[in-house]
Chain A
């Protein structure tokens, strides 16, 4: 598996099916590579070598007995926001540094039932609040393309681990861009499904009306494979969608002739790095050459996504994070003087700076006297933002644009100024506010750094996004480019 060209999940499963390798060999190979490079990369918070090897041996036995699931033996990593029974789940927070969940997330459970093997839990921004992976209690993860740069966030560890070839695929979550932006900055393919498509049970809550789990992998084909396993109604999640899940893999070859791709005018203006814009226009030109039609569209309220999101998400976060009180699980301060001191000091010690800021903003937006002017106003604006997308989709099938305003930025460059960091999410937040599916796929890199093209679909139309990305990846190999090996050797 250790080769110049990164290996896809699909090709690994083919090798397992044909008996060219065993699951145990694959897992040992993954563990070796993690051991060799992750000290510098820091893409994993927890590696479960023993559990992974045991699961791999079980997958090999299942294969030998002819009862293997469709993903039997496939190495996977989970973002450390997904609860894994018996395996520490920290959410990259001191608050949950010792938390070992008594149950697994539905998405984790479904992948495990299909035979996937959990190698470990990946680094992320604390409670998924960040766009650079720098708010992690376990230290920043680095971008495999340039160790001085961030991998993006919040699912930065998953993106970096896949980009560096440590695992073929990983789970991620996306509340405001947290799958797509790190996928773009690390040169991989990542899909955030429609809100409600993947169960939120066992996915540690940040902003419940926005959070959605998804897949980060090399190719659209691999995303289709894994999303098909994760998605579907879960009676244990009251917001889980009842919409039937199509076979994404067979949908990859759907006819796309005459597909109308909408380009939001304002997304290609001065706020976008002009060289990034050129790369995206070149990729869109290639899609046009394959029969797509490019149509100018307008999303007149989308520029209000940042203020709307940065009130709604913190409001929901302040509510969700009220559960961390130092009583039932999670961090508890030493020698509390009284109950109030126990709550307050446990939370002050357990939460990092960005999480505390968001709790305070959310508390403000929800408090008496400010609710209407902040929270309600943001929710009304959210409806206008969603309506813009719904209106646009009466004339186009897919919307395309940048995933991020530029390529990966340097560690430390934006972390001291939250408002500058929030601009990183300009093109992704509207999608979450509207509950739409979207994916990011790599196009031609710029100065040795990856560039992501974002494709946005109508509600529950993931299949078309995957098919369009797959079509592009059939004729290009940007998604198969690997970062330079660690240590700088060319």
Chain B
């Protein structure tokens, strides 16, 4: 199992993480070792076996399409890093 430098960068971009260039070699080594564990799975014959996503085989329950929650915008926005007039603030996207 080996990860190319370009692959590591692509993963980081997908995950919205920035990798410190100084830490990249150690990180790459750790990720390779962890992914190396996955090779053990080759020992399992999974032909025709359905993937298991929920250990109880539960399915998503449905409920009546009615409003059950109250508006708590102020409480939720009170913990946001930056808000104004009920809106979340982010750096300008459109000039």
- Please list the residues of chain A having a beta carbon within 8 angstroms of any beta carbon in chain B: 99-102, 194-196, 209, 235, 238-239, 241, 301, 303-304, 306-308, 310-311, 318, 322, 325-330, 332, 336-345, 347-348, 351, 356-357, 359-361, 363-365, 367, 374, 376-384, 386, 418-419, 422, 432-436, 459
Contacts and interface: CB of A to CB of B under 8 A. Distances in A.
A407 B72 CA distance: 47
B55 A361 contact: no
A208 to B, nearest CB: 9
The number of chain B residues touching the other chain, given as a range, is: 35 or more
Contact of B38 (A311, A328, A383): A311
Contacts of B20: 348
Contacts of B30: 357, 418
A360 B15 contact: yes
Q: Helix, strand, loop or mixed for chain A's interface? A: helix
A419 B30 CA distance: 8
Interface string B83-95: 0000010111100
Interface string B35-63: 11111110110100111111110101101
Nearest to B38: A307
20 contacts: A99-B79, A196-B56, A196-B58, A235-B63, A241-B58, A304-B41, A310-B34, A329-B80, A329-B81, A330-B81, A337-B91, A342-B90, A347-B15, A356-B17, A360-B17, A363-B15, A377-B46, A380-B44, A383-B51, A419-B34
Contacts of A378: 38, 41
Contact of B31 (A306, A357, A384, A434): A357
A348 B49 contact: no
B81 A422 contact: no
A344 B76 contact: no
B80 A348 contact: no
A174 B39 CA distance: 26
Contacts of A304: 40-41, 43-44
Nearest to B69: A236
A370 B7 CA distance: 12
Closest 7 A/B residue pairs (Cβ): A435-B55, A379-B51, A380-B46, A332-B81, A383-B52, A102-B75, A380-B49
